[in-house]
Amino acid sequence: MSTTLFSLAGTRALITGSSQGIGLALAAGMGAAGAEIVLNGRDTTKLDAAASALSAQGITTHTLAFDATDHGGVRAAVDGFEANTGQIDILINNAGMQHRTPLEDFPADAFERLLQTNVASVFHVGQACARHMIKRGAGKIINIASVQTALARPGIAPYTATKGAVANLTKGMATDWARLGLNCNAIAPGYFDTPLNAALVADPEFSAWLEKRTPAGRWGQVDELVGAAVFLSSAASTFVNGHTLYVDGGITASL
């Protein structure tokens, strides 16, 4: 099979929350596969630093600063980019946050922030990009779900709820937009060594539990998510729609 099936040459990918962690790793991997990258976040200093790092690797990179939870701001930013710079062929909805507190003590404002950041942002950015993709009859949308899409852990019940919603919103996107030429899927990472998980990585007891619980016996490395993103962004996945791909070392496959 020709490797051109997985090439992203000639495409442009917007990745939300991509100034660090999984988002930046995906940006580098997608760029290496040939895509032009549009980095997004709210901190322009971090965005510029990330863009410089990608550019040094020979990746054509843009920055597009907006708050993914602001519907009007998202629409203006995406519409402006499409009009002034060029089309967005691929969207990866990666922006997300975590908050750990026992459910009986979970603050209502933290719950609302989780809903806005982890679910509403997927709707806002997905809709803004899809409106342009639909006109062209083509587009790829990848939403970042989680191992918590299928499983729960103590202290993160609202996060678990948001990631379950991401998977179902992905199914809804596919149901509405597949007939219009879009491929809408999700990637569900397991436990990865990222800034979001820094406290867990630093906890020897948790890391020991995770290594025993995960068939692969270790934390995931962010570069190991790139293959799934390239597959779902490329011509190799033209008939894949509404699917959640778990990249988790087998943790959802075993008890």
DSSP state of 203: -
Q: Which residues pair with 244 in a beta bridge?
A: 186
Residue found under tokens 């075993």: 254
Domain with residue 79: its CATH number is: 3.40.50.720
pLDDT in tens, 20-44: 999 999 999 999 999 999 999 999 9
Residue 1 has pLDDT above 60, yes or no: no
Q: Which of 159, 192, 219, 231 is catalytic?
A: 159
Asked whether residue 219 carries a pLDDT value surpassing 90, the answer given is: yes
Model confidence at 6: pLDDT above 60: yes
Structure confidence at residue 237 (pLDDT): 98
Residue 235 CA neighbour count, 13 Å, CB half: 11
* Mean pLDDT computed over every residue of the chain: 97
Domain containing 163 equals 3-248
Confidence band for 2, pLDDT divided at 50, 70 and 90: low
In a domain, 117, yes or no: yes
159 is catalytic: yes
User: 195 pLDDT exceeds 70?
Assistant: yes
pLDDT in tens, 40-86: 999 999 999 999 999 999 999 999 999 999 999 999 999 999 999 99
In a domain, 127, yes or no: yes
The answer as to whether 66 is a domain residue is yes
| Number of domains making up the chain | 1
As given in the structure block, the two tokens for residue 124 are 């806002």
Using N-to-C axis directions, what is the helix angle for 226-233 and 21-32, rounded to 10°?
Answer: 60
Q: Is the pLDDT of residue 115 over 60?
A: yes
Taking residues 81-93, report their average pLDDT.
Answer: 98
What whole-number distance in Å separates Cα of residue 53 and Cα of residue 49? 6
Whether the predicted model's global pTM rises above the 0.85 cut = yes
Does the residue 61 lie in any domain?
Answer: yes
Percentage, residues of the chain above pLDDT 70:
99
Q: Is residue 254 part of a domain?
A: no
> Taking 70 as the threshold, does the pLDDT of residue 102 lie above it?
yes
The span from the CA of 223 to the CA of 26, in Å, is 7
- Burial class from Cβ neighbours inside 10 Å (0-12, 13-18, 19+) for residue 225 reads buried
pLDDT at position 221: 95
**Residue 253 falls within a domain, yes or no?**
no
Name the band, by pLDDT with cuts 50, 70 and 90, for residue 196. confident
- Whether the pLDDT of residue 139 is over 90: the answer is yes
Q: What is the mean pLDDT of residues 111-115?
A: 98
Q: Which two tokens stand for residue 178?
A: 């597949």
Read off the pLDDT of each residue in 210-219 and give the average, rounded to a whole number: 97
Q: Answer whether residue 233 is part of any domain.
A: yes
Q: How much is the average pLDDT of 158-166?
A: 98
Q: Count CA atoms closer than 13 A to 223's CA, side-chain side.
A: 2
- 255 lies in a domain? no
